[in-house]
Structure 1
């Protein structure tokens, strides 16, 4: 096991006052914000800070009150030139400090004033040839922090890092004159910034590696699914075949696997789900879907494609209790109602969540606990104490904190699969850090051909013409509103306000808010004979409408990129030419402009990572927001790879 260098008790006590735990934590959070260099200047360069030896000739008080200033005429001893020192708002002690004929070292901003050299607000220097870092904190005095940094940041203490990284970090806390000059003008150089990124991600990967341990799988699933695959009434794409192959290998492992299957909207993830169910057969598989519509659609599709001997059961909010028949099913499909029903599946081998970006960490933890051996013997996944802090659900059910009770380590877990068209930034960060297995279905049964337009009020007339043209061809359109009812807080029409306009201009206008009980009937009837469907974001997932060629999203800036991508995926389902209109009052929004330039779900997730960042990868308490001071997970792949490779070598050397 790797350890950061041991520190003596006084140093540890000082770190505790600063609320940091180790040397890298100190480096990241207590960098010098600036430096004072008292080395005497060798040149006279205007507009720069200078340290000069002067001899005072005359003092003159000018102005009164707020306009008072002290002008001091002096001689530059090392340059044989005159200079004027200006002190604004002088105090009585200034005349005594800058006494006539006294020789002093002074520091200040060197300027040219009316053709003469001048020094503004000079500060007397008592010790020359020193460089003092300045730290931004009130927890300790700056002098104390300087002493602590001198003791902590030594090449010996940094020997656990690569030599070039250690040297750069050392220079930040032990700078020479050239470093200070460059830093004060430009900030940290690329070399020093790279070193800071390295130590930050190195510490993160190191701590994460200590948190994790693998769990044994509840079942090793070896069912032969070749006959099932041959029975399908269509040919699988290469991406589907590769994903199924990965899943078969995972489920045959004695270690509880975790995999994310990423495939764009319409790539055929459903058949991959059913193939996973067949791999786990005759043990039980559970799938949680975000909406009743999607769960029902998957249930009907499963009954059509899975063999008749596979017992399938649907659980929604309309299922008040879990029957014995349901608990004995081979495949249980449900909504979040699964989380609020009192039942335990003794034969649960596989847990799946569809559109995983719609679920939080807690929901997925509860689902996985359905298949744990005993409710009394498993770790409490909702205890956020330091010794049992859960990590992201994309990885942590394979892993637990190394400080958990030893008896918990032997407990088994079901295999886990997650499906998504757009991984949330947090999950993508895990992928980039290689903490989750990933299968990507890149090919589609039908090529997506969608043009995305960003429009405002000036483009509404053209939009109306487009919709009429598409309807005349027998195609359909969806218009997504941000709200059902009028709101004074939002400068957009609501669904109820816009309904009358569309009904006056089009026939076959259907409307559903997602809360109405007959929403499925409305969608089914629209699919058969409708022209326009007015809806909220309920149609983000689970709606398959092959004749929809256009979607209009009102107030898209209010939605996440994953949601926008899902909504856009409702069109061009079967190769039909598709159009997506983003109707906004902020057409210059760079996030929307970037979204409009790509159809790739993986690229969308990268954009989402840039705009929302990755969240807290260690504790799992934040799904997004920047966790790092220096690392940008969307841009700094090179330094992440170097830190990971270096840590791997260290672990192998110490094992």
Structure 2
């Protein structure tokens, strides 16, 4: 039973109005509205800090202070622990700190935060008295922090709130976690920062536990099936006739899949292949092995263009395999569907058309879903449900931070391909400002003469918020070049998009101006230059994906990032690395989870305490605990199961 705030001593009409404006109606609401920060400590963690934010933090110096005698201004540097995080601190022109401070001193640090270096460029470093009382800061408009603390103290002292336990007691004991009620008390009324840290540790695990409970419940159910009786000799013969030797990462991914096939339960696996790493080749071997076992395979691609590309790709390598293409444009669909039902086709490649109810397989043994995050959960499940004993392979060329992939799919169900084939040439990435655009134009003229393809990407079709859009860039390019120019964006019909892409592909020396819809899968070996306008509007992972549209063959390729000067520091990361997984981790920190996993994660990937990268050990422990918990026959009577929906809607504020 909830206790309304108007029943609490000290809460009058004006306070009640201020609380209700913040969505706080009961004592439970107020307790869940924990302090945003504490006195002299403007943030409780670095989780939500953006690059170049001015911040003030309180921490403990963990290393000896050092001064560089060779750098300009002789900066003093040291490391400091801020709650559970260690950051680098550098202070220019403050040599006096060498005598004023030492290791283990508690200090208040104010300065500019560098996200990519996890470093504060300090404007001040002040030693503080460790006995200074901690004052919670709630930042609720119209209400003094002291007033809230007094009300919260009254609520706890008079037991006017019901805080139920949400984690099995065995796990609380195992990890020495605070009970939920005590954790909230320490967040609101701490005696030390150690109290705050203990409370945060409890809630980090709680969020990790319920995230894993949600994710594990979304994973495909395991169905018993005999081990696949594939013909390993035929598979080895196919590998022998490939034009390139498999990279070590590809070999390990193939071995992962074949180990899955040897089990007596159907498996699911995420194959993550960075741009140009050859994940499709890995799926080719899995598909062929399944076909040699006498089973059918369905391969679903997000667009007709990609489905066509895959059809050509697999037809080239699997010349003796009967392959069908099923898309919205397929003629005589009824005849084709009847042949699929009669197992006259071994491999069926298609788009959403594959999930139509009258598409029935005789013996579907493997489902491959390309760019799985591009499909809705329901679409994927409808294809998967066409067979209860099939294996599932999800392909993703979008680098997902390893942490996210492991927590979502489980450590044993993820294969990562980072190594690029030896014949691939690294893409030259250059950061320029708009007034340096002629550099790109000069390279474009040369590419047109060589009859190579050029991509130009803009953030919008038409917009008053950005100067670079389809209309403005088209006008600029039309005045500069006589080469054929094509335009592609989301307002065109599916047929128009397909026709434009086909014309572009088959017109050497042409230019395509497009929105980000070209970021995935388009494979044109003669595409050697891409220019990305207003690059400050894109995350690093998305820029990396767009960059991957060039350099698909053996020709030297270049990517131009056109942005404002204050964004060049971030974009330099892209210039210095071709590792999409590293870039995705920067995006995870600076932009949030986004659509990395392709599930309805907008809710359950919003956390108040948990940090996906830094708290990886907590996530893995929680995953292990959840798997053990749900394997027990009495799981559905467990309080954790009963509390799941209530927790997600209330505690995570979803």
1:291–1:542: 8 Å Cα contact kept in structure 2? no
Q: CA deviation at 1:163?
A: 6.5
Q: CA deviation at 1:29?
A: 6.7
User: What secondary structure is seen at the aligned counterpart in 1 of 2:367?
Assistant: strand
- The correspondence for 1:511, drawn from 457, 481, 486, is 486
User: What secondary structure is seen at the aligned counterpart in 1 of 2:601?
Assistant: coil
Please list, as runs of the form range in 1=range in 2, the aligned pairs for 1:277-292 lying within 5 A after superposition: 277-281=287-291, 282-292=294-304
Please list, as runs of the form range in 1=range in 2, the aligned pairs for 1:169-568 lying within 5 A after superposition: 172=183, 180-182=190-192, 189-205=196-212, 214-217=221-224, 220-224=227-231, 225-281=235-291, 282-308=294-320, 310-319=321-330, 321-322=333-334, 323=336, 324-327=338-341, 328=343, 329-340=345-356, 342-369=358-385, 371-372=386-387, 412-423=388-399, 429-432=404-407, 435=410, 437-445=413-421, 446-471=423-448, 475-484=452-461, 487-513=462-488, 515=492, 516=496, 517-526=498-507, 529-559=508-538, 561-568=540-547
Q: Name the CA distance, whole Å, in 2 between partners of 1:648 and 1:15.
A: 36
| 1:303-323 C-alpha deviation (Å, 9 max, x unpaired) | 111141x11001111026342
TM-score, length-scaled by structure 2: 0.63
Q: Name the CA distance, whole Å, in 2 between partners of 1:15 and 1:435.
A: 41
Q: Name the CA distance, whole Å, in 1 between partners of 2:302 and 2:187.
A: 59
Match of 2:155 in 1: 142
1:159–1:166: 8 Å Cα contact kept in structure 2? no
Q: CA deviation at 1:223?
A: 1.1
| 1:254-297 C-alpha deviation (Å, 9 max, x unpaired) | 22211011112222222222211112112110111122222111
Match of 1:605 in 2: 584
**Residue 493 and residue 298 in structure 1: after superposition, are their counterparts in 2 closer, same or farther (change >3 A)?**
same
1:507–1:531: 8 Å Cα contact kept in structure 2? no
**Residue 297 and residue 29 in structure 1: after superposition, are their counterparts in 2 closer, same or farther (change >3 A)?**
farther
Please list, as runs of the form range in 1=range in 2, the aligned pairs for 1:558-637 lying within 5 A after superposition: 558-559=537-538, 561-584=540-563, 587-588=566-567, 595-614=574-593, 621-623=600-602, 626-637=605-616
User: What secondary structure is seen at the aligned counterpart in 1 of 2:264?
Assistant: coil
Q: CA deviation at 1:567?
A: 1.5
User: What secondary structure is seen at the aligned counterpart in 1 of 2:362?
Assistant: coil
User: What secondary structure is seen at the aligned counterpart in 2 of 1:631?
Assistant: coil
**Residue 482 and residue 27 in structure 1: after superposition, are their counterparts in 2 closer, same or farther (change >3 A)?**
closer
Please list, as runs of the form range in 1=range in 2, the aligned pairs for 1:96-115 lying within 5 A after superposition: none
Q: Name the CA distance, whole Å, in 2 between partners of 1:357 and 1:163.
A: 36
**Residue 513 and residue 653 in structure 1: after superposition, are their counterparts in 2 closer, same or farther (change >3 A)?**
closer
2:323–2:348: 8 Å Cα contact kept in structure 1? yes
1:262–1:420: 8 Å Cα contact kept in structure 2? yes
Please list, as runs of the form range in 1=range in 2, the aligned pairs for 1:66-81 lying within 5 A after superposition: none
1:208–1:618: 8 Å Cα contact kept in structure 2? no
User: What secondary structure is seen at the aligned counterpart in 2 of 1:302?
Assistant: helix
Q: CA deviation at 1:646?
A: 6.2
**Residue 345 and residue 561 in structure 1: after superposition, are their counterparts in 2 closer, same or farther (change >3 A)?**
farther
Q: Name the CA distance, whole Å, in 2 between partners of 1:338 and 1:535.
A: 28
Structure 1 unaligned segments of length 5 or more: list them. 1-12, 18-25, 37-107, 111-120, 125-130, 373-411
Q: CA deviation at 1:253?
A: 2.3
Q: Name the CA distance, whole Å, in 2 between partners of 1:632 and 1:306.
A: 45
CA RMSD of aligned residues (A): 4.6
2:225–2:266: 8 Å Cα contact kept in structure 1? yes
Match of 2:84 in 1: none
| 1:29-76 C-alpha deviation (Å, 9 max, x unpaired) | 73754999xxxxxxxxxxxxxxxxxxxxxxxxxxxxxxxxxxxxxxxx
**Residue 362 and residue 490 in structure 1: after superposition, are their counterparts in 2 closer, same or farther (change >3 A)?**
farther
Structure 1, 295-304 or 530-539: larger mean CA deviation: 530-539
Q: CA deviation at 1:208?
A: 5.7
Q: CA deviation at 1:142?
A: 2.8
**Residue 229 and residue 629 in structure 1: after superposition, are their counterparts in 2 closer, same or farther (change >3 A)?**
same
Q: Name the CA distance, whole Å, in 1 between partners of 2:455 and 2:218.
A: 46
User: What secondary structure is seen at the aligned counterpart in 2 of 1:146?
Assistant: coil
Q: Name the CA distance, whole Å, in 2 between partners of 1:493 and 1:618.
A: 30
User: What secondary structure is seen at the aligned counterpart in 2 of 1:588?
Assistant: helix
1:508–1:531: 8 Å Cα contact kept in structure 2? yes
TM-score, length-scaled by structure 1: 0.63
User: What secondary structure is seen at the aligned counterpart in 2 of 1:248?
Assistant: helix
| 1:206-260 C-alpha deviation (Å, 9 max, x unpaired) | 5666787842156642211223222334322222222122112212322221101
Q: Name the CA distance, whole Å, in 2 between partners of 1:238 and 1:194.
A: 39
**Residue 472 and residue 206 in structure 1: after superposition, are their counterparts in 2 closer, same or farther (change >3 A)?**
closer
Q: CA deviation at 1:438?
A: 0.9
User: What secondary structure is seen at the aligned counterpart in 2 of 1:325?
Assistant: helix
Q: Name the CA distance, whole Å, in 1 between partners of 2:631 and 2:339.
A: 50
Q: CA deviation at 1:554?
A: 2.4
Q: Name the CA distance, whole Å, in 2 between partners of 1:513 and 1:176.
A: 52
How many residues align? The count is 491
Q: Name the CA distance, whole Å, in 2 between partners of 1:523 and 1:238.
A: 35
User: What secondary structure is seen at the aligned counterpart in 2 of 1:317?
Assistant: coil
